[in-house]
């Protein structure tokens, strides 16, 4: 089944009240249907609107799409900041409504335009696809990033090298070559993609097993055993005495201050 592991509680502070949310990180109150492994790609983004997607922007409640940050125009899912005065640390994530465990995810993305005023320097041409996310309802009002494993998407500056499809670990750790990785980010072996060209990437996810980052059929990064990081207070609250191993979770797309676009987001379920 598509699920996390172990029962936990978290507090979501909204504009009117504090809501205590009970969720499962193991036997799963929100578990999706079993992966069918039928070999058919399914579009998660319909090319028309944000149906099935839930925005969560720092400082705003779930489903408050502040500044029309996430929008669909001309068949493309766009991240925009033209209604912001300044970025102001309003990191955003657009969650798909269901969790997944065993799958291939294919995404087409590109960076466009200029970074929003006030965006951090490190967020220049920077976005991500977040895997194994905590349920969106459990994110705090002022939480920057969901506890998750990030497939980091980076664009080149026009000169020099800058790999994409790196891995970053907000509130989590991973294992690479048998070693527990405590660093926040690890680079991939990808080439650099400059300008506003479309880039197609894939993630192959096997629950708590291998996760592969793939470009043009080539594996550019591989790791396994995604797990909660007990050093992180948000992750620690989710663990609640369990072993913290992640077997699935939600998928989200990032908004980190640089305009970007997603032309395709589709999933292929894999047999467990």
The mean per-residue pLDDT over the stretch 93-107 comes to 98
State pLDDT tens for residues 134-147.
999 999 999 999 99
Q: SS3 for 120?
A: coil
**Is the model's pLDDT at 30 over the cut of 80?**
no
Percent of the chain with pLDDT over 90: 83
Give me the residues paired with residue 166 across strands: 152
Give the ranges where 81-199 is alpha helix by DSSP (H). Answer: none
Q: In the CATH hierarchy, which fold is given to the domain comprising 7-269?
A: Jelly Rolls (2.60.120)
Arithmetic mean of pLDDT over the chain:
88
- Among 15-29, 42-56, 207-221, 222-236, the minimum mean pLDDT is found in 15-29
Q: Which pLDDT belongs to residue 9?
A: 31
Give 251's Cβ-side CA count (13 Å radius).
Answer: 25
> Which residues neighbour 202 within 8 Å (Cβ) at sequence distance 6 or greater?
104, 105, 106, 107, 213, 214, 215
State pLDDT tens for residues 159-205.
999 999 999 999 999 999 999 999 999 999 999 999 999 999 999 99
Domain-wise residue ranges, the chain: 7-269
Q: Which pLDDT belongs to residue 3?
A: 35
Q: Can you give the pTM of this predicted structure?
A: 0.88
Q: What is the DSSP string of 33-96?
A: PPP---S-EEESS-SSS-TTEEEEETTS-TT--GGG-EEEETTEEEE--TT-SS-TT--EEEEE
Report, in angstroms and rounded to the nearest whole number, the Rg of the chain calculated over CA atoms: 17
Q: Which pLDDT belongs to residue 36?
A: 52
* Cα separation, 181 vs 172, whole angstroms: 10
């Amino acid at each position: 089944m598509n699920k996390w592991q172990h029962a936990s509680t978290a507090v979501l502070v909204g504009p009117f009240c504090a809501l205590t949310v009970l969720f499962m990180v193991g036997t799963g109150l929100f578990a999706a249907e079993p992966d069918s492994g039928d070999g058919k790609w399914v579009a998660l983004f319909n090319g028309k609107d944000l149906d099935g997607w839930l925005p969560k922007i720092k400082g705003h409640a779930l489903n408050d799409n502040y500044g029309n940050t996430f929008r669909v125009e001309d068949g493309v899912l766009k991240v925009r900041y033209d209604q912001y005065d300044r970025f102001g640390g309003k990191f955003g994530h657009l969650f798909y409504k269901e969790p997944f465990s065993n799958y291939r995810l294919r995404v087409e993305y590109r960076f466009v335009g200029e970074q929003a005023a006030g965006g951090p320097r490190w967020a220049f041409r920077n976005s991500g696809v977040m895997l194994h996310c905590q349920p969106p309802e459990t994110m705090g009002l002022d939480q920057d990033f969901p506890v998750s494993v990030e497939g980091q998407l980076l664009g080149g500056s026009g000169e020099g090298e800058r790999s994409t499809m790196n891995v970053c670990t907000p509130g989590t750790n991973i294992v690479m070559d048998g070693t527990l990785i405590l660093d926040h980010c690890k680079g991939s072996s990808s080439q650099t993609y400059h300008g506003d060209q479309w880039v197609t990437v894939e993630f192959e996810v096997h629950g708590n097993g291998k996760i592969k980052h793939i470009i043009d059929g080539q594996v550019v990064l591989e790791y396994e055993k995604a797990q909660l990081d007990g050093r992180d207070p948000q992750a620690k609250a989710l663990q609640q005495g369990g072993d913290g191993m992640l077997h699935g979770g939600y998928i989200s797309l990032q908004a980190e201050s640089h305009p970007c676009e997603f032309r395709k987001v589709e999933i292929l379920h894999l047999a467990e």
